A and B are shown apart, each in its own frame.
Chain A
């Protein structure tokens, strides 16, 4: 008989304690970010899609078209092409294409680049209407950023 009442009392006590917790949180400020009105800043090491780094002196790329990133990528998203130009040592980059539909942001390409020509961008607002919108021409993007 005593057990019956004790059970009811303990149960009721646990319910009231739980309601006390939610009441306490009801009056505390919200912890959500109001996204479209307040844009978050990405940390330094954030992994957006890769982008070419601008050469501080010439404004071009630092890429020597060695093809290490293309070989290292597990998903085969990178296509690099270069040509030999008169009077310049080594190859000059003509095309750097990233197929972002296959990229898994693993970072092996960035790690394998010796001159440090590619790095992660901070781009997170990615939306497009067609699949082709995500085949990035990184050289063109570099030129657009310079302007």
Chain B
């Protein structure tokens, strides 16, 4: 057997298994974090510390009947959940878990991730439109305008990192942050003193935009608009809903891992000692914890507040940041 094919197949299986396991773990983590913030224990009956709860929920979802509403556009209705999972799994191709653990080392890895992840929006729109439900369409349209508005600052801040490191290859970006945390892109003390002021701002903007892109935390108008309607996935039951749910957690993982790779040093150790996949996972799960922490603290923004935040605050600040980054790179 061609060792290349074996390697590719191995990676495919590993990535799909990782995505599924990760989603199960994240559901458990979310419920536990939510529980303890609210001074109660989360799940505890099923398995030790409730670890098997997500598997029980998964089995329950799989055994439910898949209902297609009357008047819905059947092919689009069925394709939408799959369209949520496909970009999420594909983005894992270029993410370097450690120096050797990357499915493909693509030279324009960052660009690839952004390109593929935008298909996610398409899936929301299809899901809402094909449901033949007035309220799903409204909320899908809102989700689309939210996603478009928050793509822009995210891309702009990614450009500042690319300008700073000079490459779009994710593996090389991480390797450029070797040493200790003073080499990391968030506080590049050892590399370029002028950027110490600007890079944290970039990180903050990137983080907020990734939360908004994945419809999480205070920006979850699409799904939790249970004030009146139940969002774009109201008509989905059983595993259709399950796929939307898993896709959201996979997207959260990708957003946070991008933030870690671009700003926090990827799989590098903070003190330059033992780099490896464990540091990567630690940092990503810490950022995911921050995302969950923010979700359980804040109420939802209004739709216009959401758009105002992006167009009136994040985009001007990130553009300004971009110009200053260019200037500082030249000067220092």
Contact = CB atoms under 8 A, between A and B. Distances in A.
Nearest to B41: A30
A22 B40 contact: no
A143 B9 CA distance: 74
Contact of A31 (B39, B296, B298): B39
Interface residues of A, number: 16
A26 B33 contact: yes
B72 interface: no
Contacts of B38: 25
Contact of A22 (B35, B297, B313): B297
A30 B298 contact: no
A134 B8 CA distance: 67
Interface in A18-55: 18-19, 21-23, 25-32, 34
Interface string A62-88: 000000000000000000000000000
A25 B36 CA distance: 7
Interface residues of B, number: 14
A126 interface: no
Given A15-B298, A18-B298, A19-B293, A26 B40 contact: no
A34 to B, nearest CB: 8
B294 interface: yes
A30 B40 contact: yes
Interface centre among B37, B294, B296, B298 (most CB of A within 10 A): B37
A127 interface: no
A19 B297 contact: yes
A8 B38 CA distance: 28
B37 A26 contact: yes
Interface string B294-312: 1011100000000000000
Interface centre among B33, B35, B297, B313 (most CB of A within 10 A): B297
Contacts of B39: 25, 28-32
A17 to B, nearest CB: 10
Nearest to A18: B297
Contacts of A23: 293
A44 B298 CA distance: 41
Given A25-B38, A31-B39, A31-B40, 14 more contacts: A15-B298, A19-B293, A19-B294, A19-B297, A22-B293, A22-B297, A25-B36, A26-B36, A26-B37, A27-B36, A28-B39, A29-B39, A30-B40, A32-B39
